Structure 1
Amino acid sequence: MNGCTDPWRFHNPQALLLQAYFLRAIKLQKHWRTMSSPEIVTLSWGHMKVKGCSSGYKDCKVWPGGSRGWDWRETGTEHRPGVQPADLEEVLQKGVETLVIGRGMNEALQVPSSTVDYVRKKGVELTVLQTEKAVTEYNNLVNKGAKVTEYLGWTFTSDIP
Protein backbone atom coordinates (compact mmCIF):
# COMPACT_ATOMS: atom_id res chain seq x y z
CA MET A 1 0.00 0.00 0.00
CA ASN A 2 1.09 3.54 -0.63
CA GLY A 3 -0.23 4.87 2.69
CA CYS A 4 -3.59 5.86 1.24
CA THR A 5 -6.50 5.28 3.61
CA ASP A 6 -9.19 6.36 1.16
CA PRO A 7 -11.08 3.15 0.23
CA TRP A 8 -12.42 4.79 -2.93
CA ARG A 9 -8.93 4.91 -4.44
CA PHE A 10 -8.41 1.16 -4.31
CA HIS A 11 -9.68 -1.17 -6.98
CA ASN A 12 -11.45 -3.24 -4.37
CA PRO A 13 -14.73 -4.72 -5.67
CA GLN A 14 -16.38 -4.33 -2.26
CA ALA A 15 -15.34 -0.68 -2.04
CA LEU A 16 -16.62 -0.05 -5.55
CA LEU A 17 -19.93 -1.72 -4.70
CA LEU A 18 -20.23 0.38 -1.54
CA GLN A 19 -19.46 3.53 -3.53
CA ALA A 20 -22.16 2.64 -6.07
CA TYR A 21 -24.63 2.06 -3.21
CA PHE A 22 -23.93 5.47 -1.66
CA LEU A 23 -24.13 7.25 -5.01
CA ARG A 24 -27.49 5.57 -5.67
CA ALA A 25 -28.74 6.60 -2.21
CA ILE A 26 -27.70 10.22 -2.84
CA LYS A 27 -29.39 10.19 -6.24
CA LEU A 28 -32.61 8.80 -4.69
CA GLN A 29 -32.57 11.47 -1.97
CA LYS A 30 -32.28 14.21 -4.60
CA HIS A 31 -35.11 12.57 -6.55
CA TRP A 32 -37.39 12.40 -3.46
CA ARG A 33 -36.74 16.07 -2.70
CA THR A 34 -38.25 17.08 -6.02
CA MET A 35 -41.25 14.77 -5.83
CA SER A 36 -44.52 16.13 -4.56
CA SER A 37 -46.52 14.54 -1.81
CA PRO A 38 -49.85 13.32 -3.17
CA GLU A 39 -52.98 14.92 -1.77
CA ILE A 40 -55.68 12.90 0.01
CA VAL A 41 -58.74 13.68 -2.13
CA THR A 42 -61.52 11.77 -0.35
CA LEU A 43 -62.03 10.24 3.06
CA SER A 44 -65.02 8.34 4.37
CA TRP A 45 -65.48 5.54 6.88
CA GLY A 46 -63.29 2.65 5.70
CA HIS A 47 -62.20 4.30 2.45
CA MET A 48 -59.73 6.92 1.35
CA LYS A 49 -58.49 8.02 -2.05
CA VAL A 50 -55.08 9.46 -2.88
CA LYS A 51 -54.68 11.81 -5.84
CA GLY A 52 -53.20 9.97 -8.81
CA CYS A 53 -54.19 6.48 -7.61
CA SER A 54 -56.82 4.54 -9.51
CA SER A 55 -58.00 2.60 -6.47
CA GLY A 56 -58.78 3.58 -2.90
CA TYR A 57 -57.40 2.33 0.39
CA LYS A 58 -58.81 1.18 3.70
CA ASP A 59 -55.55 2.11 5.44
CA CYS A 60 -52.54 3.62 3.71
CA LYS A 61 -49.08 5.13 3.81
CA VAL A 62 -48.36 8.18 1.65
CA TRP A 63 -44.99 9.77 0.90
CA PRO A 64 -43.50 12.11 -1.71
CA GLY A 65 -44.07 10.40 -5.03
CA GLY A 66 -46.15 7.49 -3.85
CA SER A 67 -48.58 5.65 -1.64
CA ARG A 68 -49.62 2.12 -0.84
CA GLY A 69 -52.09 0.22 1.27
CA TRP A 70 -51.09 -0.39 4.87
CA ASP A 71 -51.65 -4.01 5.81
CA TRP A 72 -51.52 -4.20 9.60
CA ARG A 73 -50.64 -7.90 9.39
CA GLU A 74 -47.18 -7.03 8.01
CA THR A 75 -45.99 -6.05 11.48
CA GLY A 76 -48.79 -7.40 13.67
CA THR A 77 -50.29 -3.96 14.33
CA GLU A 78 -53.45 -3.77 16.42
CA HIS A 79 -55.34 -0.81 17.89
CA ARG A 80 -53.47 -1.55 21.12
CA PRO A 81 -50.53 -1.25 21.59
CA GLY A 82 -50.85 0.66 18.30
CA VAL A 83 -48.39 2.05 15.78
CA GLN A 84 -44.90 0.63 16.24
CA PRO A 85 -41.60 1.88 14.77
CA ALA A 86 -41.67 -1.00 12.25
CA ASP A 87 -44.93 0.43 10.84
CA LEU A 88 -43.21 3.74 10.10
CA GLU A 89 -39.82 2.55 8.90
CA GLU A 90 -40.82 2.50 5.22
CA VAL A 91 -41.67 6.21 5.14
CA LEU A 92 -38.88 7.21 7.53
CA GLN A 93 -36.33 5.58 5.19
CA LYS A 94 -37.46 7.95 2.46
CA GLY A 95 -35.96 10.86 4.40
CA VAL A 96 -39.20 12.53 5.50
CA GLU A 97 -38.97 15.59 7.73
CA THR A 98 -42.63 15.67 8.74
CA LEU A 99 -44.82 12.69 9.63
CA VAL A 100 -48.58 12.92 10.19
CA ILE A 101 -50.28 9.95 11.83
CA GLY A 102 -54.04 9.60 11.84
CA ARG A 103 -55.43 7.58 14.75
CA GLY A 104 -58.67 6.58 13.05
CA MET A 105 -62.12 8.13 12.96
CA ASN A 106 -62.73 7.26 16.62
CA GLU A 107 -59.09 7.59 17.67
CA ALA A 108 -58.92 3.90 18.54
CA LEU A 109 -55.42 3.43 17.10
CA GLN A 110 -52.83 4.12 19.78
CA VAL A 111 -49.45 5.76 19.23
CA PRO A 112 -47.27 4.76 22.19
CA SER A 113 -44.75 7.20 23.64
CA SER A 114 -41.98 4.79 22.60
CA THR A 115 -43.01 5.27 18.95
CA VAL A 116 -43.19 9.05 19.38
CA ASP A 117 -39.70 9.04 20.92
CA TYR A 118 -38.37 6.84 18.10
CA VAL A 119 -39.66 9.23 15.41
CA ARG A 120 -38.37 12.35 17.18
CA LYS A 121 -34.93 10.79 17.72
CA LYS A 122 -34.77 10.44 13.93
CA GLY A 123 -35.19 14.23 13.74
CA VAL A 124 -38.66 13.99 12.20
CA GLU A 125 -41.44 16.40 13.15
CA LEU A 126 -44.48 14.39 14.27
CA THR A 127 -48.17 15.25 14.37
CA VAL A 128 -50.73 12.74 15.72
CA LEU A 129 -54.42 13.54 15.18
CA GLN A 130 -57.85 12.03 14.66
CA THR A 131 -57.93 10.88 11.01
CA GLU A 132 -60.18 13.62 9.57
CA LYS A 133 -58.06 16.30 11.25
CA ALA A 134 -54.89 14.49 10.17
CA VAL A 135 -56.01 14.52 6.52
CA THR A 136 -56.72 18.26 6.74
CA GLU A 137 -53.32 18.92 8.34
CA TYR A 138 -51.51 16.73 5.80
CA ASN A 139 -53.21 18.40 2.82
CA ASN A 140 -52.47 21.86 4.29
CA LEU A 141 -48.78 20.96 4.51
CA VAL A 142 -48.79 19.65 0.94
CA ASN A 143 -50.50 22.83 -0.31
CA LYS A 144 -47.99 25.03 1.53
CA GLY A 145 -45.15 23.65 -0.57
CA ALA A 146 -44.09 20.64 1.44
CA LYS A 147 -44.03 18.76 -1.84
CA VAL A 148 -40.92 20.58 -2.97
CA THR A 149 -38.73 21.44 0.01
CA GLU A 150 -40.02 19.23 2.79
CA TYR A 151 -40.40 15.50 3.02
CA LEU A 152 -43.80 14.44 4.17
CA GLY A 153 -44.64 10.97 5.33
CA TRP A 154 -48.11 9.83 6.14
CA THR A 155 -49.78 6.90 7.81
CA PHE A 156 -53.41 6.71 8.81
CA THR A 157 -56.21 4.32 9.50
CA SER A 158 -59.96 4.33 9.06
CA ASP A 159 -60.60 2.39 12.29
CA ILE A 160 -61.92 -0.76 10.67
CA PRO A 161 -60.15 -3.84 12.07
Structure 2
Amino acid sequence: MSSPEIASLSWGHMKVKGCSSSYKDCKVWPGGSRAWDWRETGTNHHPGVQPADLEEVLKKGIDLLVIGRGMSEALQVPSTTVDFAKQRGVDVKVLQTEKAVEEYNKLASQGAKVGGVFHSTC
Protein backbone atom coordinates (compact mmCIF):
# COMPACT_ATOMS: atom_id res chain seq x y z
CA MET A 1 0.00 0.00 0.00
CA SER A 2 1.44 3.38 -0.98
CA SER A 3 1.41 6.67 0.86
CA PRO A 4 -1.05 9.12 -0.73
CA GLU A 5 0.32 12.26 -2.38
CA ILE A 6 -0.53 15.60 -0.85
CA ALA A 7 -2.17 17.24 -3.85
CA SER A 8 -2.27 20.83 -2.58
CA LEU A 9 -1.26 23.01 0.33
CA SER A 10 -2.21 26.58 1.14
CA TRP A 11 -2.71 28.50 4.39
CA GLY A 12 -5.25 26.51 6.42
CA HIS A 13 -6.03 24.06 3.63
CA MET A 14 -4.57 20.70 2.60
CA LYS A 15 -5.86 18.24 0.01
CA VAL A 16 -4.75 14.60 -0.11
CA LYS A 17 -4.99 12.75 -3.42
CA GLY A 18 -7.83 10.24 -3.43
CA CYS A 19 -9.63 11.87 -0.50
CA SER A 20 -12.78 13.92 -0.99
CA SER A 21 -12.25 15.92 2.22
CA SER A 22 -9.85 18.78 2.70
CA TYR A 23 -7.99 19.32 5.94
CA LYS A 24 -6.61 22.18 7.99
CA ASP A 25 -4.07 19.90 9.66
CA CYS A 26 -3.71 16.27 8.68
CA LYS A 27 -2.14 12.90 9.31
CA VAL A 28 -1.20 10.68 6.36
CA TRP A 29 0.10 7.12 6.11
CA PRO A 30 0.30 4.32 3.56
CA GLY A 31 -3.27 3.83 2.41
CA GLY A 32 -4.96 6.67 4.26
CA SER A 33 -5.30 10.09 5.82
CA ARG A 34 -7.46 11.98 8.28
CA ALA A 35 -7.81 15.33 9.98
CA TRP A 36 -5.32 16.00 12.76
CA ASP A 37 -7.44 17.39 15.58
CA TRP A 38 -5.14 18.83 18.23
CA ARG A 39 -7.94 18.70 20.81
CA GLU A 40 -7.67 14.90 20.90
CA THR A 41 -4.31 15.10 22.68
CA GLY A 42 -4.27 18.64 24.09
CA THR A 43 -1.63 19.72 21.59
CA ASN A 44 -0.79 23.41 21.23
CA HIS A 45 2.03 25.35 19.58
CA HIS A 46 3.94 25.12 22.89
CA PRO A 47 5.08 22.58 24.00
CA GLY A 48 4.11 21.26 20.57
CA VAL A 49 3.62 17.88 18.95
CA GLN A 50 2.99 15.17 21.55
CA PRO A 51 3.97 11.49 21.26
CA ALA A 52 0.22 10.75 21.34
CA ASP A 53 -0.15 12.77 18.09
CA LEU A 54 2.18 10.30 16.35
CA GLU A 55 0.93 6.96 17.71
CA GLU A 56 -1.75 6.34 15.08
CA VAL A 57 0.63 7.02 12.17
CA LEU A 58 3.49 5.03 13.72
CA LYS A 59 1.20 1.98 13.96
CA LYS A 60 0.70 2.00 10.16
CA GLY A 61 4.03 0.32 9.39
CA ILE A 62 6.01 3.36 8.31
CA ASP A 63 9.80 3.65 8.16
CA LEU A 64 9.93 7.45 8.05
CA LEU A 65 7.78 10.21 9.54
CA VAL A 66 7.71 13.79 8.25
CA ILE A 67 6.44 16.47 10.63
CA GLY A 68 5.35 19.85 9.26
CA ARG A 69 5.77 22.61 11.86
CA GLY A 70 3.53 25.16 10.12
CA MET A 71 4.11 27.85 7.52
CA SER A 72 6.02 30.04 9.98
CA GLU A 73 7.29 27.08 12.04
CA ALA A 74 5.29 28.13 15.12
CA LEU A 75 4.52 24.51 16.06
CA GLN A 76 7.21 23.12 18.33
CA VAL A 77 8.47 19.54 18.15
CA PRO A 78 10.12 18.51 21.43
CA SER A 79 13.08 16.13 21.33
CA THR A 80 11.04 13.72 23.48
CA THR A 81 8.51 13.42 20.65
CA VAL A 82 11.22 12.73 18.06
CA ASP A 83 12.80 10.19 20.42
CA PHE A 84 9.40 8.49 20.84
CA ALA A 85 9.28 7.76 17.10
CA LYS A 86 12.95 6.78 16.86
CA GLN A 87 12.53 4.29 19.73
CA ARG A 88 9.92 2.60 17.53
CA GLY A 89 12.37 2.29 14.65
CA VAL A 90 11.02 5.24 12.64
CA ASP A 91 13.28 7.99 11.30
CA VAL A 92 11.90 11.53 11.66
CA LYS A 93 12.26 14.68 9.58
CA VAL A 94 10.98 17.94 11.08
CA LEU A 95 10.55 20.75 8.55
CA GLN A 96 8.61 23.91 7.74
CA THR A 97 5.30 22.64 6.31
CA GLU A 98 5.85 23.55 2.64
CA LYS A 99 9.26 21.84 2.74
CA ALA A 100 7.78 18.93 4.72
CA VAL A 101 5.08 18.36 2.08
CA GLU A 102 7.71 18.46 -0.70
CA GLU A 103 9.85 15.92 1.16
CA TYR A 104 6.89 13.70 1.98
CA ASN A 105 5.65 13.72 -1.64
CA LYS A 106 9.15 12.96 -2.93
CA LEU A 107 9.49 9.98 -0.59
CA ALA A 108 5.95 8.75 -1.33
CA SER A 109 6.61 8.91 -5.09
CA GLN A 110 9.71 6.76 -4.54
CA GLY A 111 7.56 4.12 -2.83
CA ALA A 112 8.85 4.76 0.69
CA LYS A 113 6.71 3.72 3.65
CA VAL A 114 6.29 7.31 4.80
CA GLY A 115 3.79 8.95 7.08
CA GLY A 116 3.27 12.54 8.06
CA VAL A 117 1.64 14.99 10.41
CA PHE A 118 1.23 18.46 8.97
CA HIS A 119 0.15 21.83 10.41
CA SER A 120 -1.02 24.17 7.61
CA THR A 121 -1.16 27.53 9.35
CA CYS A 122 1.26 29.48 11.54
d(CA) in 2 for partners of 1:116 and 1:133?
A: 18
What is the TM-score normalised by the length of structure 1?
Answer: 0.74
User: What is the CA-CA distance between 1:159 and the residue it aligns to?
Assistant: 2.4
Unaligned runs of 5+ in 2: none
d(CA) in 2 for partners of 1:50 and 1:124?
A: 22
Q: Per-residue CA shift, 1:66-111, capped at 9, x if unaligned?
A: 0000100000000000001000000111121100000000000000
The structure 1 segments of at least 4 consecutive aligned residues displaced by more than 6 Å after TM superposition are none
Name the Cα RMSD after superposition: 0.8
Matches within 5 A, 1:35-50: 35-50=1-16
User: What is the CA-CA distance between 1:143 and the residue it aligns to?
Assistant: 1.1
Q: Residue 62 in 1 paired to residue 62 in 2?
A: no
Contact 1:131 1:156 in 2 (8 A): yes
Which of structures 1 and 2 has the bigger CA Rg? 1
The higher relative CO (CA closer than 8 Å, separation ≥ 6) is in 2
d(CA) in 1 for partners of 2:105 and 2:25?
A: 17
Contact 1:39 1:142 in 2 (8 A): yes
Q: Residue 92 in 1 paired to residue 58 in 2?
A: yes
Percent identity over paired residues: 74
More helix by share: 1
Aligned with 2:115 (options 153, 156, 159): 153
What is the TM-score normalised by the length of structure 2?
Answer: 0.97
How many residues get paired?
Answer: 122
Q: Residue 112 in 1 paired to residue 84 in 2?
A: no
More strand by share: 2
Unaligned runs of 5+ in 1: 1-34
